[in-house]
Structure 1
C-alpha cells in the first residue's frame, strides 16, 4: 500500500505517525517543502527572539517513513505531481497543507516560517524607541504583540484590529487587554487601509487607517491567518466558498474517497483553524484508514472543544473556557497559571504529533 502525506504540519505529521504505528511505516511518504517541522503555534515566540519553533522533520517521523522535499503542484488520479515535474503514485493520500496568509503589502506575516524569520531579523536590528505594529486583533496578533513587548520593552509596540480578542467572552477579553496594557502595548481598534512604505520620518512606513488616522511604524507584522492553499481546487476536488476541500463524515474527499483531508484545508462543519482541530482530524483519518486495512468499518469523525489558550508574554496568559460546541463560557483563567497551561498545551501538541499518542474530546451527541 502506497500512502502519500502532503504537508508535515500538525495534522499531516500525526496522521503519518499514527498510520505507521498501526499498520507499519513501509510505503508511507511525507512530502513537505522544507526539511523542518515548524511549530506554528510558536512562531510569535521565534519572531520576538526565542530559539526553537522548528525541529528536523526526521526527528518527528517514525522510523521507516520516507520524506520527499518539494511542493505539490497537483493531485490527479492516483498521482501527485511535484513542482519539479516528478510524480509519486498513491493508493491513499492525506491532504494536510494547512492555511496560508495574504498579508497587506508592506507587512511581514507572522504565520509563516519565512515571515517570522524576516521579522525576527528586522526586529533584532531595531534600536530602542522604534515602533513595531502588529495588524490583527485575534489571538495570533495579541500573542505576537505581547511577546515582542515582553522581550523588547525598549520598543514601542502597537496592535491594530477592528476588535481585540473577538473570540473571547467579554471578561476574558478585558483581561487580555489588561495584559497588553501591563506590557505597555498600545491598542488601536481600527483597520489598516494601506501602508505607504518609506514615507515617514527616517524612512519609516506610514500606516493609513480607515478612520483617517495615520501612524509611523518601523516594522509592521501581519497577524491574520488568511485562506487555504488552492491545491485542492486546482486538483479538481470539491471545495467550499473558502477553498477548503469538502469531506464526508470520515474526512474523505467527496470527490475522491482515496484522499483524506485534514487540518485547516478541510471543510469540516463546526471546526475552526487551530492545532486543536488539526490534531484530532489527522489522528482520526489515520485510524480510519487503519480500520479499512484491517477490514473494519470506519467510524464518523467526532470532536469537541474545551477552550482557547492565549499567551501574553512568558508570565501571563488567558485560558478561555468553552462549551463543547466551541461557544465561549463566562469563565476564564488568567495570570501565571494560564501561561503555564498554554506552555503545557504547546508541549503536549508537539509530543502528540511526534508519538501519535493523542486523545481528544468527542462530541457528546
Structure 2
C-alpha cells in the first residue's frame, strides 16, 4: 500500500441511503486505509420512505447520524456549494480536501408555488405542524399520482380520519400493473380518499373559502384546500452541473460503468443524482449504487481492477395506511408483471422492507440482484 493510499481522504457528500451505506461499507472494507468524512445539511439520517409517516404523525423519519455511521467516520454538518479540483467549498466558505469523493445528494422537489413539499425533510416537518393545526372536517389536498402521493394521502387519511383527503394526479399509480392500480384505488376508497385524475395548474394561498388555498385544475375545475401538499419527485440539486461535471438535460451526472463521473474519475456519483441507464429514484436503487461505489474504491485501494456496476429490480412496494399495502412484482429490468400482493400481509412486508433498508445502511450488510443480461 502506498503512503498516499494509506492517507487517502474520502468525502461523502450526502447522507441518505446511498451516501450512508457507501461510507459505512468503505469503512468496513478499507479499514484504516482511508479517512472518511460525511458532509450533510443536517445531523440526521432521514428515511425518505417514511416521510409520509412523519407528515401524518404516525411515525418518525429521522435518526441521528451518530447512530447510523461506523466509529471513525467524521461528520460535518453543512451544504456543499461547489466541487473543485480535489476540494469542495461549503456554503459558509470553508473548504475540504479530498482524494476521492462520493456524490450522493439525491433528488429534490420543485413544488408549485403555494404548496408544501412532501418529499423533503423540511417540507414534511412543515406539513406535520400544519396538519396538527387543521381542525376536523378540514380538507387536505395531495398533488401527485405516483407512489409518494399515494402513500402520503393514505397515511393522512389513516392517521386523521376526521379530515377530508383528496389525491390529485393526471394518472394514479402509473408505474403499477392495471390490476394493481385498481387495487390501489380500492384501498384509497376504503380510506375515503377522493381521487381526482387531473393536472393542477395553480394554487392560490388564501383565495379559497374561509381563507383556504384555492386549487385550480387543468380541466377548469377548482376547489378549496386547507393544506395543499406537493408530492411529485423528479428534480436533482444543481451541485453536479454547478461544479462543471457533465450532466444530462435533467441535471444528473453522467457516469461510467463503475459509477465514476466521466468528467472526473475521482468522483463517484450514486443515487438519484446519477444518470444510470434503466434506474429510477428509489432506495432500492440508491443502496446498491452506494455499496458498489464503496466496493470499487476498496478494490482500487487494494490494487485490483474495478468491476462494472449491475443491479436488477424485484418490484415495488407501497403502504396504504398502517394496515394495508401492495407489493407489485417486477422483472429485473423494472418492467411490471401481472402479479401483485395486497392487504395486511403486504403492509407487514413493506414495513419489514423499510426496516431492512435502514439496517443495511447502518451495518453495510447488503446484497442485490445482478441486472438483466
Give yes or no for TM over 0.5: yes
Give the SS at the match of 1:178. Answer: helix
Name the residue aligned to 1:9.
16
Alignment of 1:17-96 (within 5 A): 17-24=24-31, 26-96=34-104
Alpha-carbon distance in 1 for matches of 2:357, 2:207: 43
Give the SS at the match of 1:2. Answer: strand
Alpha-carbon distance in 2 for matches of 1:50, 1:30: 30
Deviation at 1:51, TM superposition (A): 3.4
1:233 aligns with 2:241: yes
**Residues 320-345 of structure 1: CA distance to partner in whole angstroms, max 9, x if unpaired?**
00011000000000001110111011
Alpha-carbon distance in 2 for matches of 1:84, 1:226: 27
Deviation at 1:50, TM superposition (A): 2.3
Give the SS at the match of 1:232. Answer: helix
Name the residue aligned to 1:222.
230
Give the SS at the match of 2:85. Answer: coil
Give the SS at the match of 1:289. Answer: helix
Deviates more, 1:47-56 or 1:239-248: 47-56
Deviation at 1:201, TM superposition (A): 1.6
Alpha-carbon distance in 1 for matches of 2:203, 2:48: 26
Deviation at 1:289, TM superposition (A): 0.4
1:130 aligns with 2:164: no
| Matched-pair contact (CA < 8 Å) for 2:333–2:372 | no
Q: How many pairs does the alignment contain?
A: 365
Name the residue aligned to 1:147.
155
Give the SS at the match of 2:265. Answer: coil
Name the residue aligned to 2:207.
199
Deviation at 1:199, TM superposition (A): 1.4
Alignment of 1:334-353 (within 5 A): 334-353=342-361
* Among 188, 191, 196, the residue aligned to 1:188: 196
| Matched-pair contact (CA < 8 Å) for 2:50–2:59 | no
Give the SS at the match of 1:250. Answer: coil
**Structure 1: where are the runs of 5+ without partners?**
none
* Among 238, 252, 272, the residue aligned to 1:244: 252
Name the residue aligned to 1:116.
124
Deviates more, 1:195-204 or 1:182-191: 195-204
**Residues 218-252 of structure 1: CA distance to partner in whole angstroms, max 9, x if unpaired?**
00011100300010000000001110000000000
**Which consecutive aligned stretches of 4+ in structure 1 deviate over 3 angstroms post-superposition?**
none
Deviation at 1:281, TM superposition (A): 0.1
Alpha-carbon distance in 2 for matches of 1:274, 1:28: 25
Supply the RMSD in Å over aligned alpha carbons: 0.7
1:285 aligns with 2:285: no
Give the SS at the match of 2:277. Answer: coil
TM-score when normalising by structure 2: 0.97
Deviates more, 1:116-125 or 1:193-202: 193-202
